[in-house]
Every structure is written in structure tokens, then in C-alpha cells.
Structure 1
Amino acid sequence: MRRRWRSSGVLAVLSLMLLLVAPLPAAARETRAAAPVTVPALTDWTPAAGGYTYGRSTRLVADSTGERRVADTLAGDLRAAGHGTPDVVRGGARTGDIVIDVQPSRTALGTDGYELRSGNRLTITAATETGAFYGTRTVLQLLAQGARVPAGRTVDVPRYKERGVGVCACYIHVSLPWLENLVREMAYHKLNQLLLELKVKSENHPEANTWGYYTKDEIRRLVALGKRYHVEIIPEINSPGHMDPWIENRPDLQLTDSDGDKQPSRLDITRPEAFAYYTGLIDEYAEVFPATSWHMGADEYMLGSDFAKYPQILTYARDRYGPDATPQDAFIDFVNRVHAYAAGKGRKLRIWNDGLTGANTVPVTAGTTVEHWLNVAVKPSALLAQGYPVMNAAYALYLVRGGFHSDTKGLYDQSWDPRSFEGEKLASADGVTGAKISLWPDNGRGETENEVAVALWPALRHIAQATWGDPHPDATYAEFTARGTAVGHAPGWRDLTRVPVSDGTYTLRTPGRSFTAELRRTADGYATLRTADGCLEVRGGKLTLNVPLQPGVEAAPQTCDPANTLQRWQLEPVAGGYRLVNAITRMTVSVTDDGRLAQYPPDQRMPAVWHLT
């Protein structure tokens, strides 16, 4: 895009001079301002006379295999959005049809861009299947506002290739329906990367299967959805720090400090067994994640400490790289060995930036993508000058459960774009791959999933706008948020705040146990269960991120507290009744052999099915 403007610089200057001499008439300005409403906004809409009307006779015209895949997905989404199910046909487009046209020769549109023409039919032209798919997202947004689309043309090409959301489901469990909603919303707004730090239940290392993990079948289901909606799901196992979800039961792999104390969150990077363990997990994840990238985290390895407490790391570095080596070189060595291993499996490596302090003599392997979130000594400009791809993952874009929330309005008002890193604003976007928002559960019980969703959607639409097009398409933030209201949620999006039973007093029965409780819906779409002795709550056991995540922890009445998220429950409909799922721990209630109520992952112990009367 930049080279194209340079090659036509004379024309651009002449055009600008003409505009300065003869500004558009008021009528023309009003017509141009009336571009159809979408998120991201269309920036070059050229209006025409007339319009397109979607109706019962509309067909989806698609000839090639890729075109038909796009058309099939669009047909399903039109049905989910209440527009009926149009037939998918080959050739012979007629008035009222929607045409999917993939032309590989249209290289100027890039991988993700498309051209949309609206007249007596809608025609989406792209160089790739992905670009055509994004054109259908625009069509869906337009039809969400009515059956008639104004006539005109747009060429819509993203400014950045990586447009993402990062989710740490790394200690707590985020429900699969919530993640599926996220994938649909991302695709609807033309975001293309879900960077997901999580634990997949391991068959090779059952000692690591502490909650909250996902089964491989659950991940296959999510990945399949991502594939259909052109959202690449990139997995992360953070290392060599933050490894406690994996090695808390493996003291042989834990780093030992100079006092002889084991560090469950730190992998001992000097041990060959530790590297073999980590790369074994990469192989196991490859069974369910076909992503072309691997995220190893590499952040906060020495959080709250320093290398001086671990003299064996300096010894390792000097043995490997000579007497001038630093402890940081041992850390970079681990990163580079993971890079080489991932590359051997056909995957590119991604890391966070905070471990790159400049205290190393060994460089990070070329081609490693650095996600910059923290302002440290090595700035984004230095990383770019060294040739590393850099993604903007600024802390200003974070939403932390029970903590910091991105100021989306403030970012919009200052026309934030992916060149604005923590600690540095770049003059050029060259080398910047894009940006992402990040959802982190530092206080796991600080907010429920449904509360996070409320804060997420404005931030998601903002990052979609800032990474695809003009970061400030409307004069005010209120006008920009009105776009989100106009296009609504993605087809197939599920309202997870719906409680399937009305407020009232019920007797809950399951074999081996019954109790009576007053059920009341909470503002965030869960329910509290108030018994004569208090409100049902999960309490006890070891806390992780302020959450009782141990299976077997009792669910019992406690003093009712409307602010206590551990007293909120989801009633999950199943055959014969409902399962009780805690809103925070995401474990189901089972009845123990002695009649107590306790939480367990649903694949470890059969959840109780409650009949309400």
C-alpha cells in the first residue's frame, strides 16, 4: 500500500491541489458521508443511484470450491440471523442475488481485502477465500440494519495483517460457549487471531491435569469453528515462567533458588529434562491445534526475583557461551531452542517482550514475533530495527478481571492506532504486524464471564477499527459506539445471560440429595440459591488467582453476599433437569458418597442432574 502511493505520488499531489482549489459541493459531501454503517467503517464508499434489496428469491452464486465454502457459511449465518436460507447455486447471477467471486489475479486486494459492489445484486470480489469471507461479514452487517442496501462500491483492505484478541484461560476455566461467542464476534468484525493461553488435558502427563483444563475434543470443536470463520487460534503455554499449572506436581523440573527452595512457577532451563518436557507438550498440542504459530510466552520469568538467586543459571550460560555470558543468555538460549523446535514442526514462534532487557549477549533468533506489552529498556523501534516482527499488545489494551480495564473511549478520542506502544509512539507502521486486546484473570473471582463480556464488546470493536482502517472514523466516541449498536452481534451469537427458570422458591432434587432454595437471577445473568442457612457457595481448598480451583471443594450455604461471585450459579439445561455450574470455577456440583455437595470437573465425576419443583 505504501509503495503504491509513492509510485503514484504525482497524481496524489494533483488530486490534493484540485480538492484545495475546488472543494466538494455540500450535496456531494453529504452523499459521501452517508456510507453504509459497518464496523470497521468503510472508508472509500462511492455511492451510486438506486440500491439492492434482499428478499425471498435471493440466491448465493458461487462456482469454485472456495467460493462455495464462503457461500455455505454465509447461508448458515443468514439463517441464524433470521433472513431465511438462500440457495447456493452456480453461475447465471440475476437481480437480487449475492455473488461470491474469488479472482486470484486481484492481488492488490491482498489476502484479506475485498471489493463490494451494490446495485441490482451484491457482488463480493476478492483475491482469496478469506477476503471473500470478510466481504460477507460486511453484507451481514448491512442486512442487520434492513433488507435494502444503498447502491455503491467500496474497496476494503486492512492496514494490518494481525488483528487479534488474547485470552488467558491459563489458570481458571473460561466456558466453551463464551469462547465460541468470541470467535463469532471476532470474525464478524474482521479480527483474525485468537491467541489463547490455556491448558489442554494431557494424556502423556496426567500429573499435570489440575483444573481448569480443556479436553482435546473441546479444543477440536473450537478450532473447527475458528477455521470456518477464518480466525486462527494460536495456542500458548507460557514458559519458562508461569509454569505452575504444569509443573506444580513435578518438583524435579522446578527451578531451585540459592536457599534450596523450589519455585513451582519457574521451569529449570538448565535441565535437559525440562526442555524435553516442554517440547513434549508442544507435540501434544499439535494434535488439536493446526495453527502456524506457537506462543511460548517467555514473560516475567524473574518476576519478584532476579537471576542472582539462581547461580546455576549463570554457570549454565558461561559453560555454553563463554566467560562473558550473562544469566539472560541462558534465558534467550531457552527461547531460541524452542524457536528451533517449533520451526522444525513448521511453526513460527511468538514471545512477550519484557524478557528482552538488553542484558544478553546472545540475540533472539531472527523471525521471532515479539508481542510488546510492557515498557522496558529495549523499545519497539529497536526491535524493529533488528528485524523482528512486532505486535502491539500494549497494557493500555488490557481488560483484567477485577482490575484494570482499557479506557476504550480515551483511546478512541486520541485516535490510538497500533503504532502507539507502551513507552514509544512510532512514526511509521513498517514492521508492526498489528495489535490485540488482552483478557487476563489476575483476580479470577473479580468478575464473571458475563461481566467481562460487557466490557469486551466495545474494546473488541475498537481494536477491529484501529487495526483494519481509520482509527477515528466518527467525530465522537458516542457516534462510533452507535455503529456497534447498529450492526449488533454476530449471527449465531448466544445470549449467555438467560436464566432458564424464573425467580422463585424451588426444591432441587437429585438421587441422594435434595434441598429447598430461593432462586434469584443476578444482574449478570446467573442465579443465587438462598437456603434457610445461607446462599450456596464454593469455599475451601487451595486458592489460585483468588479462586478455589481444587476438585472436591464443598459447595455449602454461607452468609449471603450479593457481591460474592462464588455464590453465582449457572443452570445448564440437560436431559431430565439442570446441572449447577459455578460462575467462577466453572465446575459442576456433584453429590459425594456421604451426601455432601462438592464441585468437580464434569469429566472427572458425573455431575448431578437437578430436578426443580
Structure 2
Amino acid sequence: MTVFPELARRPRGRWRRLTGAAAALLLLVAPAPAAASRQDERPGPPRTLPALTNWTPGEGSYTYGDGVRLVARDAASRRVARTLADDLRAAGRGKVPVTSGAARPGDVLIDVEKQRKSLGAEGYELRAGERLEITGGTEAGAFYGTRTLLQLLAQGDRIPAGSTVDVPRYKERGVGVCACYIHISRPWLENLIRDMAYRKQNQLLLELKVKSDRHPEANSWGYYSKSDIRRLVALAAKYHITVIPEINSPGHMDPWLEHRPDLQLTDTDGKKQPSRLDVTKDESFAYYTSLVDEYADVFPAKSWHMGADEYMLGSDFAKYPHIRDYARRKYGEHATPQDAFIDFVNRVQAYTAGKGKRLRIWNDGLTGDNTVPVAAGTTVEHWLAVRTKPGELIARGHPLMNAAYALYLVRGGFHSDTRKLYEQRWDPRVFEGETLASRAGVTGAKISLWPDNGRGETENEVAASMRLPLSHVAQVTWGSPHPDGTYAGFTARDAAVGHAPGWRDLTEPPVADGTYTLRDVAGGLPPTAFEIRRTPDGYVTLRSARTGACLETREGKLTLNVPLEPGSSVTQETCDAKNTLQRWQLTPVRGGHRLTNAITRMAAHVTGDGRIAQYPPDQRTPTTWQLTPEAREYRRT
């Protein structure tokens, strides 16, 4: 991993170097301080995340009371008000009416004034007094003002009188999630969307597989149904988050190419490479663009991410001389194999542009070994130091997003060191390999979640470990990189605002610890007693009262250290508290509970021959389990 250069700390002033008698002498000869002005006595800004960059205090306070109304005067402000009303209800504050007309003392007035150009696309003004007023130059700006209000109300009903104008520094403030191999549950993603919006983040990159109608041979687990995606996208749109889809190409394509050997790159030994698409074939381009078209049915975003990273990871172009030959036929005798790769990227760029979408790629494929340039306007997300530096990419006309490795959370591996970044005053100008002097050309920054060791952590563990990295990136992309003098102060700020309204605690099992008789409602198995115990991350283990072994799924082909084959058996294995494959989620359903593995996200299904096997819920109906508490508690021996 490349180490980020530390930003210089502020030099200590002379006063800190004065000690003992010298300091005392200075106190004796210094003039007496003037009486503090009224302005010096004014309180600082109320605590929010991102922190308010300015605050003009007033006299008194605004109090949120029982008679509050949300007053909105046009269609845009009414949409914002309705979303706020939903969130106030989710926060336990009852049903607040949305109305029009004149605002009364105690009301919240929401307004969109398009002539307020100084607020930009997402800024807002908030004024608190007898009533509370939120004004945005756009609907998005007014929405972000309501996030500030919700954070203030999370800390009490009384808001100090005053005003602020709050405008973001960067236009892209995001999170990237690879649900591309290991399925991530929809409730987890919904929680993420709510918390992102609460912290004024506006972009979610999802690298995942949508169940394909055009290519059913690619529908191995873990895919998402189109209805799942439409529901996620609708929630994100409500909260002003753009969901950008990614299908990584031409590398990392094994989830799509597993059953398409005709499109797999073949090396000089005749060995097929399931993770690499052969960029020299017209059929490869047609296949990939057909997936773009199918995703357009459920992702309306005006951006498309094709990844384009690590195409030759673990190999090199010398193993595929036909790629060099293809490049030379197309671009002349001095063309390089890398030109064939860039050619594929540019063809996808032209295709997506024709569909009204702007292309995004990772930076590591831009090694400088190409003679063909990447099409100008292609957004580059920079995560790795290579020969082509961030400043060069901006000079060549590429919008640049900071997706630095220092911001990564690798499941079961590297985690971003938020304390270190905060204390170094890290900001989106600090890239791997280069720190830019200006923000010009930098679109923003994001944290990235990768499943390199899919069984290394559960979803709930990832959620806990990403909370402060999420808050840190939200802070540095909206406002100052260092709003509090200490990291402890920043973590206290995060704790004060808490989670978004509507965020669901996914760590509470629906049954208490104890021994239960499990019966499948279809009667495919005899009733069996299991000791159910909650795990620290909020799942359960099931230990057989008869054998002392624990339920686990471990059979079949491993992907990222996880058995992801539908139909693989659920067996009883030696109990191991550290083995995440022995953790299960119990979900109440009609007539009982559903049992889903915490890592594979497949549900337990009783087969016709009396086995328990894991399947995606749309391939086999998950078994409903009835749990009856045993009269006598089973004890471990």
C-alpha cells in the first residue's frame, strides 16, 4: 500500500515555547485585556455533521413543539416537506402536517428560491428564531437543510436562534459498494442510503449483478432482482442520492463469464481466463453493451461505471500476443497491447454517451503504456499511484474523483485509519502519489467497501466499522477537514447526531437465547432441538442439543473464501465462535421464521430427500421454521 504524504501541521507559536519566568514576565508587562465584546461571548454553531462552516447567533431560540407545521409554497418545497414529515414520523415525532400559506411561530418554513444562485446546486440557508426557515436555491439544497434540522432535533427540541449559509465544497460525496460477488442484503443497503443522505452524501456506486433476462446463463448467485434494484433506486432518489451502477470490464468479469468460454481471454497455453473478457472480439463488445442496455431499465443515472481496473492482475499482455496484433492492425505498428485495452474503454465511452450516460473508470489501467488517449470527459476515480499522475489526468480533461486506497474498507482485511486521516487534516486533494495544490478538477471523494475475504466480516460488523469513515468522508467533502480540535471531538460530533431517522437496528435477533425445538412446516425433517445463542454482531448460532455441533454452510466451490453455490448443503460442524459461516439470521415470517446464512445470504431450504441446502430465495422457497422453547434449558458441557 502506498503511504499518503502527511500534510504539514501548523507550527507552534511563540507563546507555547515560553515557560516559567519568561511567561510570567510577559503576563506582567502585557496590557490588561479589554472587556470581552458581546460578539466574543456568542456561542459557537450548533453541532452537526458535516459541521456548519459559519453561524451567526441570534437572541433566544426556536422550540420544536406539538403544534409544529411544515409550510411549503410550491411543488419542489412540498416534496422536501413530505420527505421531512416521513422522517419526523420515523424519528418518533408523530405526524406533522404539510401545509401552505403563511408561517406561524413554531412552524418550519421550507422554500426553494431559484434566484439564490449563491447557494449553488446544493447549498441552503437556515434561520432559527420564532420559526425555523430553510431556503435552498434548488430542491436538493432545501433537502440538505432539512438534514441539518433533523440532526439538531436529534439533540433536543430547543435550537439556538441564529442563521447559517451552508454550501458544499465538492459536488461528489460518496460511497462505493462491491456487492459483486458476496450478496449484501437490501435492508443493509437501505440503512446505508439513509445514513448517507443524513450526512449530505449524494452518490452511491453499486458494483453488483442484476438478474439478467437476456443472459440467463449468467444468473449464478449473488444477483439482485430488478424489483430489488428499483426499490433501492427509488429510496435513493427520495433522499437525493444518485445510484451509479458498475459492471467491471474487461477484467473481473468472472461473475458474468463463468458460463461464456467463447468470450473469455485465452492465453498462449490455450488456457481460458474466466475473469478476463477478450477485447479483440466484436462479440465481447456486443455482450457488454447488451448488459449496459439491460441495466438502463433499472438504473436511470446519467453515469455508467465500467471499472476497467486490474485487467492483467496476476498476468501480463505478453501471454496474449493476439491483443498486440489487434492493436497494431487498428492503430499502426507502434501501437501497444495497452492501446487495445484503451480502445475497448473508448468504445464503451462512445456507446454510453450515445445513451446519455457519462463514463467512469478506475485509474490503475492508465499506466502510460498506451499511445491511444482515453476519451476526454471520462471521469477517472483515482485509487492507486501509477505513472500517470492525478494532475496529468485533470490536464487531459478528466474529472477526477478521489477514491484513495486510504479510504478503503476491505472485508476481512485493510480498514481505513480514520483517526490518522483526521489528525493529518486529509482532504480530497491528497491522492495516492500526489497532493494537488488546488481543488480545481477534483469532483470529490468516497469510501469504498470491498469483499476480498468475503467471510472475514459479516454485514453487521462492516456497518459498525464503516460508521466513522463514512462520517469523515462526509465531512471533508462538504466542509472543513478538521472541524474539531481533536479526533475525540469529531467522534463526539458523530455520536451526537446518531443514525438517520428510519435507520433499522439489524443486530437484534427476534428470539431470546435458549434451547428451541425447530420444526419445518412442510414436515421434511423430524423436530430437532438446537441451542440458539446471539453472536456479538447480532446474528445467532444454532448448536445441536444432541450432537453438540453447529449449523454451517461450507460445501461447494469457494468464491472469495465463501461457498456461493446454490444447492450446497447445510451441515453440522465443530462449533467455532470465529467462523462466520456458522452465523445465521432469523427473520420472522408468517407461520415462523426464515433462516439465512449471515455470509452467503442464502436461505435454508429442506430438500425432497431430507437434506438442508442453501438457495437464493427466488430459486427455492425458503423453509419456514417453527421455534418452540424447550421446557428445560440446554447447557453446554
Report the TM-score when normalising by structure 2: 0.92
Matched, 1:592 2:603: no
SS of equivalent to 1:410: helix
How far off is 1:31 after superposition? 2.3
SS of equivalent to 2:322: helix
Q: 1:213 aligns with which of 223, 227, 240?
A: 223
Matched, 1:28 2:39: yes
SS of equivalent to 1:590: strand
Q: 1:58 aligns with which of 65, 68, 71?
A: 68
Alignment-derived partner of residue 583 in structure 1: 598
Question: How far apart, CA to CA, are the structure 2 residues paired with 1:455 and 1:380?
Answer: 29
> Relative to 1, partners in 2 of residues 1:454 and 1:23: Cα closer, same or farther, differing over 3 Å?
farther
Alignment-derived partner of residue 114 in structure 1: 124
Q: 2:355 aligns with which of 345, 360, 378?
A: 345
SS of equivalent to 2:42: helix
Superposition pairs of residues 462-473 of structure 1, within 5 angstroms: 462-473=472-483
How far off is 1:287 after superposition? 0.4
Matched, 1:506 2:477: no
Measured against aligned partners, the alpha-carbon deviations of 1:70-119 in whole angstroms (never above 9, x if no partner) come to 00000000000011121100121010010111000001101110000000
SS of equivalent to 1:371: strand
Alignment-derived partner of residue 305 in structure 2: 295
Superposition pairs of residues 87-236 of structure 1, within 5 angstroms: 87-236=97-246
Of 479-488 and 389-398, more deviation after overlay is shown by 479-488
Alignment-derived partner of residue 435 in structure 2: 425
Superposition pairs of residues 204-603 of structure 1, within 5 angstroms: 204-510=214-520, 511=522, 512-513=524-525, 514-531=527-544, 532-533=546-547, 534-603=549-618
Matched, 1:42 2:55: no
Measured against aligned partners, the alpha-carbon deviations of 1:197-252 in whole angstroms (never above 9, x if no partner) come to 00000011010001000000000000000000001000000000000000110000
Question: How far apart, CA to CA, are the structure 2 residues paired with 1:515 and 1:31?
Answer: 67
Measured against aligned partners, the alpha-carbon deviations of 1:346-388 in whole angstroms (never above 9, x if no partner) come to 0000000000000111100010000000010001011111121
Question: How far apart, CA to CA, are the structure 2 residues paired with 1:230 and 1:398?
Answer: 24
SS of equivalent to 1:562: coil
Paired amino acid for 2:542: L
Question: How far apart, CA to CA, are the structure 2 residues paired with 1:217 and 1:498?
Answer: 27
How far off is 1:25 after superposition? 3.9
Question: How far apart, CA to CA, are the structure 2 residues paired with 1:260 and 1:311?
Answer: 12
Paired amino acid for 1:79: R
Question: How far apart, CA to CA, are the structure 2 residues paired with 1:329 and 1:560?
Answer: 53
Measured against aligned partners, the alpha-carbon deviations of 1:566-607 in whole angstroms (never above 9, x if no partner) come to 000000111011000000000000001110000000000010
> Relative to 1, partners in 2 of residues 1:30 and 1:541: Cα closer, same or farther, differing over 3 Å?
farther
Question: How far apart, CA to CA, are the structure 1 residues paired with 2:121 and 2:41?
Answer: 32
Question: How far apart, CA to CA, are the structure 2 residues paired with 1:29 and 1:72?
Answer: 39
What fraction of aligned residue pairs are identical, expressed as a percent?
71
SS of equivalent to 1:312: helix
Paired amino acid for 2:278: D
SS of equivalent to 1:343: helix
- Which structure 1 segments of 5+ residues have no match? 1-21
Question: How far apart, CA to CA, are the structure 2 residues paired with 1:50 and 1:602?
Answer: 56
Measured against aligned partners, the alpha-carbon deviations of 1:385-436 in whole angstroms (never above 9, x if no partner) come to 1121000000000000110000001000111000000111111110000000
How far off is 1:30 after superposition? 4.9
Aligned pairs, number: 591
Question: How far apart, CA to CA, are the structure 2 residues paired with 1:570 and 1:332?
Answer: 44
Question: How far apart, CA to CA, are the structure 2 residues paired with 1:209 and 1:325?
Answer: 37
Paired amino acid for 2:42: T
Question: How far apart, CA to CA, are the structure 2 residues paired with 1:146 and 1:499?
Answer: 30
How far off is 1:484 after superposition? 1.1
> Relative to 1, partners in 2 of residues 1:168 and 1:30: Cα closer, same or farther, differing over 3 Å?
farther
Question: How far apart, CA to CA, are the structure 2 residues paired with 1:287 and 1:138?
Answer: 34
Question: How far apart, CA to CA, are the structure 2 residues paired with 1:610 and 1:579?
Answer: 6
SS of equivalent to 2:208: strand
Alignment-derived partner of residue 19 in structure 1: none
Question: How far apart, CA to CA, are the structure 2 residues paired with 1:201 and 1:493?
Answer: 27
Measured against aligned partners, the alpha-carbon deviations of 1:113-136 in whole angstroms (never above 9, x if no partner) come to 000000011111111000000000
Question: How far apart, CA to CA, are the structure 1 residues paired with 2:360 and 2:556?
Answer: 35
Measured against aligned partners, the alpha-carbon deviations of 1:483-502 in whole angstroms (never above 9, x if no partner) come to 11111100000000010000
SS of equivalent to 2:492: helix
Paired amino acid for 2:423: D
Paired amino acid for 1:517: F
SS of equivalent to 1:340: helix
Paired amino acid for 2:622: P
Alignment-derived partner of residue 18 in structure 1: none
Question: How far apart, CA to CA, are the structure 2 residues paired with 1:390 and 1:36?
Answer: 33
RMSD: 1.1
Of 200-209 and 22-31, more deviation after overlay is shown by 22-31
Question: How far apart, CA to CA, are the structure 2 residues paired with 1:507 and 1:552?
Answer: 24
Alignment-derived partner of residue 8 in structure 1: none
How far off is 1:559 after superposition? 0.2
Greater radius of gyration (CA)? 2
SS of equivalent to 1:552: coil
Question: How far apart, CA to CA, are the structure 1 residues paired with 2:34 and 2:480?
Answer: 22
SS of equivalent to 2:500: coil
